[in-house]
Amino acid sequence: LTAHMRTPAGEACTWDGASFSWQSPDGVKCSILNSPPSQRIATDEVVSSLIEAYPKAVESRTTDGHNALHIGALTGAPPSVLSAMLAVYPIGLQQRVWRITPLPRGGTSNHYPSDVLGVGQLPLHLAASAHPPAPLETVAYLLAQYPQGASTPDSVGNLPLHLAVHSAAPLSTIEQLLATHPEGAAHTDNQGRLPLHLAALSSAPLEVVERLIVAYPEGPSLRDGDGARAVHLAVQQRPHDLDVLRVLTNANAA
């Protein structure tokens, strides 16, 4: 362990953001920090070497319930790193985060309580929910390796599409998710919300709102569990976004 109580793998995956707890093989509780991919310290070769030296590190879980693949997905690790992890732990694509995890520091959510973020989520869910959005290549790789993930809800009913929309992911990511599971546009979460409702609640780009309407034209007229249509949510959460309000109003009237 380093002076900061990090294993070599933890040191290689140093981040500048939300912290995760780590328990070393001898039971010592440690803490590692995560950074965006552009700020990763270790090269892909170093990460691969560490995996080769101790393959079990990939499946070891932090006290927050994340394994290395979860953390890699959440922080937009490139396919080369994800591939190295999956080579020794292929079932990792189907492993969920079950430990309750709070939102990142300063984070807020109009969709789900902060104490359930991450519960029941696959690596694909985590990549879709990343802040800032994970690179398209990360999401595309996870989809290619486990396409069933696109149709798998987490414990509060979110598909990866819901999370990507709520996280204001770019249209390219939304297109990838819809191409794998087109029916996702019509899927409601445990609060009766479509991806379109979450687009209205969040800062999702206009082109994403338009794409969701094309994918599920009935969406604008459907009410969530609280009786709100997407346009109602947009008026509440983004009243100055006139283009989004116009698109939702016109679609609701069609």
The model's pLDDT over 173-216, given as tens digits with 9 standing for 90+, comes to: 999 999 999 999 999 999 999 999 999 999 999 999 999 999 99
More confident residue, 229 or 24: 229
Residue 245 lies in a domain: yes
What contacts 196, CB < 8 A, 6 or more positions away? 165, 185, 209, 212, 213, 216, 219, 220, 230
More confident residue, 117 or 93: 93
User: 33: part of which helix (H) or strand (E)?
Assistant: strand 29-33
Residue 110 lies in a domain: no
Residue 72 lies in a domain: no
Q: For residue 1, give both structure tokens.
A: 């362990």
Owning domain of residue 178: 157-253
Residue 41 pLDDT > 80, yes or no? no
Residue 215 lies in a domain: yes
* CA atoms in the 13 A half-sphere facing the CB of 5: 14
More confident residue, 129 or 114: 129
The CA distance from 240 to 249, in Å, is 14
Residue type, 207: E
What whole-number percentage of the chain has pLDDT above 90?
Answer: 63
Are 219 and 182 in contact by the 8 Å Cβ rule? The answer is no
Residue 115 pLDDT > 60, yes or no? no
Query: Which residue in this structure is represented by tokens 């997905």?
Result: 73
Residue 22 lies in a domain: no
Are 247 and 213 in contact by the 8 Å Cβ rule? The answer is yes
| Amino acid 253: pLDDT | 79
Query: Which residue in this structure is represented by tokens 């109580």?
Result: 5
| Amino acid 80: pLDDT | 92
For residue 139, which of 167, 115, 119 has the smallest C-alpha distance? 167
Backbone CA torsion sign across 144, 146, 149, 75: negative
Residue 54 lies in a domain: no
Mean predicted confidence (pLDDT) in 163-171: 96
Determine which of 40-44, 104-108, 116-120, 242-246 has the lowest per-residue pLDDT on average. Answer: 104-108
Residue 164 lies in a domain: yes
What letter would DSSP give residue 226? T
Residue 204 lies in a domain: yes
Indicate the pLDDT class of residue 131, thresholds 50, 70 and 90.
confident
What contacts 157, CB < 8 A, 6 or more positions away? 187, 188, 189, 190, 191
Instruction: Give me the phi and psi of 192, to 5 degrees please.
Output: 75, 20
Q: For residue 245, give both structure tokens.
A: 């309000």
Are 10 and 61 in contact by the 8 Å Cβ rule? The answer is no
Q: For residue 98, give both structure tokens.
A: 């079950």
The domain total for the chain is 1
| Amino acid 64: pLDDT | 79
| Amino acid 217: pLDDT | 98
CB atoms within 10 A of CB 254: 9
| Amino acid 118: pLDDT | 56
SS3 117: coil
The model's pLDDT over 218-244, given as tens digits with 9 standing for 90+, comes to: 999 999 999 999 999 999 999 999 999
The model's pLDDT over 56-75, given as tens digits with 9 standing for 90+, comes to: 989 888 887 888 999 999 98
Strand partners, 23: 29
CATH of the domain at 185: 1.25.40.20
